[in-house]
Amino acid sequence: MIDLLTLHKRFILEHLRPGDTCADFTMGNGYDTVFLSGAVGEGGRVYAFDIQEQALRETGKRLAEAGCPRNYELILDSHANADRYIHGKIKAGMFNLGWLPGSDRSVTTKKESTLEAVEKAIGMLDTDGVITVAVYPGHREGDEEGRLLEEYFAALSRFEICATKIRILNSEKAPYFYLVESK
């Protein structure tokens, strides 16, 4: 079966090069942050966001264990505030919506702040840049996030942005993702 998170990375690597700037907009336990740090190398920059201190601790630990270069900034703030920290263009961004894996699931991403963060991320996107957004429709907020994002992406100019939805059709509650590429 197809592994959607592996596909994310494949699409990201088609756009991201050593020395680039990128963002993990939903840090979680840091797996995407580690991936991005390795992809951009010592000369690159990774901004990683989460609203939970546990996410920053786990990610910091994971980055150290992986031997990642010190090319990252772990930010305890909402991804909706990314423009307060990132002042240039990014080549790639990753969103993995839902809740912190291993948590009690009481804190989840919210459709309003997610949409604001995605809009800002697209505004920061460099030419030939990419954003991936993983959606988890197995809970109410995740389902609503996915629908809101689809409406937003469908309204974007196809002359500036290519927005694609990748979904397993015969598994209604399975995660899916959006791939957003700048032209």
Length of the chain in residues, anyone?
183
Tokens of 138: 């197995």
What confidence category does residue 4 fall into, taking pLDDT thresholds of 50, 70 and 90?
A: confident
pLDDT at 101: 79
Nearest to 98 by CA among 66, 143, 41: 143
Alpha carbon 7 to its chain centroid, in Å, reads 13
Specify the pTM. 0.95
Which tens digit of pLDDT belongs to each residue from 79-114? Answer: 999 999 999 999 999 999 987 677 777 888 999 999
- Asked if residues 60 and 24 have their Cβ atoms less than 8 Å apart, the reply is no
What average pLDDT does range 158-165 have in this prediction?
Answer: 96
- Asked if residues 62 and 34 have their Cβ atoms less than 8 Å apart, the reply is yes
Domain 4-182 sits in which CATH superfamily? Answer: Vaccinia Virus protein VP39 (3.40.50.150)
- 28-37 exposure pattern, b = at least 16 Cβ within 10 A, e = fewer: bbbbbbbbbb
Which tens digit of pLDDT belongs to each residue from 120-139? Answer: 999 999 999 999 999 998 87
Domain boundaries defined on the chain = 4-182
Averaged pLDDT of the chain: 94
- Asked if residues 122 and 23 have their Cβ atoms less than 8 Å apart, the reply is no
What average pLDDT does range 151-179 have in this prediction?
Answer: 94
pLDDT at 99: 76
- Asked if residues 144 and 150 have their Cβ atoms less than 8 Å apart, the reply is no
Helix (H) or strand (E) run with residue 143 in it: helix 140-154
Tokens of 124: 């920061």
What average pLDDT does range 7-12 have in this prediction?
Answer: 94
- CA 136 to CA 140: how far, in whole Å? 9
Q: Is pLDDT above 80 for 19?
A: yes
